[in-house]
Amino acid sequence: MTELGLFPLGIVLLPTEQVPLHIFEERYKELISECLADDEEFGLVFADGEGIREIGTRAAVVEVLARLEDGRMNILVEGRERFKLVELTRGRSFHTAEVEPVLDEDDPPGPDAVDRALELFNRLKELTGSEVEVPTGESAQLSYELAARVELAHEAKQDLLQEVSERARMERVGELFVEAAATVERQRRAAERAATNGKVDLS
């Protein structure tokens, strides 16, 4: 086990996912400054009114986007390996914990599930007009690479984070993409109806 500095936030960071963070609290300015100085990772864990979740993601600062005079920072972080909180520790201004890695079972998805997930991702990309890059189907954690490129609910992302079967994750990602595509299509139809006042345009 190793001790890791924690950054509890109201977001879920998936492995391979990149997100920008604004660092303004003194304790987290201290944490991020240490990570930058020592080229170390910190732990990002989802936290809400129910507390801190047990499974989180190691985060690496891949770019400092801006440094402000008062020490605040805008940074870009990338999700790396998952970890499990074993015991919260004390002694620093920021949260810390003893953690251990979360490892996947040997349960890869079948080629049909991979093809379906990629097909659904491309459908979503077309529906939204996104120019996001499509990952290759050869990654050992393709489910995370796909999910990281789509806006999903925090709870759904946390479930994916906690799942240790890539096969089960891939199946769930496919289900989430079907739901997302249906939502996009409903929103598009509603926008089209609103544009015509819900009436047939005879002009």
The per-residue pLDDT for range 132-189, each reduced to its tens digit, is 888 887 888 999 999 999 999 999 999 999 999 999 999 999 999 999 999 888 888 8
How high is the pLDDT of residue 199?
56
Contact 1/84 with Cβ under 8 angstroms? no
CA distance 203 to 201: 6
What contacts 121, CB < 8 A, 6 or more positions away? 134, 146, 149, 150, 177
CA distance 44 to 7: 5
CA distance 1 to 71: 32
**Domain map (residue ranges) of the chain:** 2-101, 111-195
Per-residue pLDDT of the chain (203 residues; tens, 9 = 90+): 799 999 999 999 999 999 999 999 999 999 999 999 999 999 999 999 989 999 999 999 999 999 998 889 999 999 999 999 999 999 999 999 999 999 999 999 999 999 999 999 999 999 888 888 888 878 889 999 999 999 999 999 999 999 999 999 999 999 999 999 998 888 888 877 777 665 555 44
CA distance 80 to 18: 10
Q: Which amino acid is present at 132?
A: V
**Range 2-101: architecture per CATH:** Roll (2.30)
Helical segments of the chain, H only: 26-38, 111-128, 142-147, 154-162, 166-195
What contacts 38, CB < 8 A, 6 or more positions away? none
| Polymer length in residues for the chain | 203
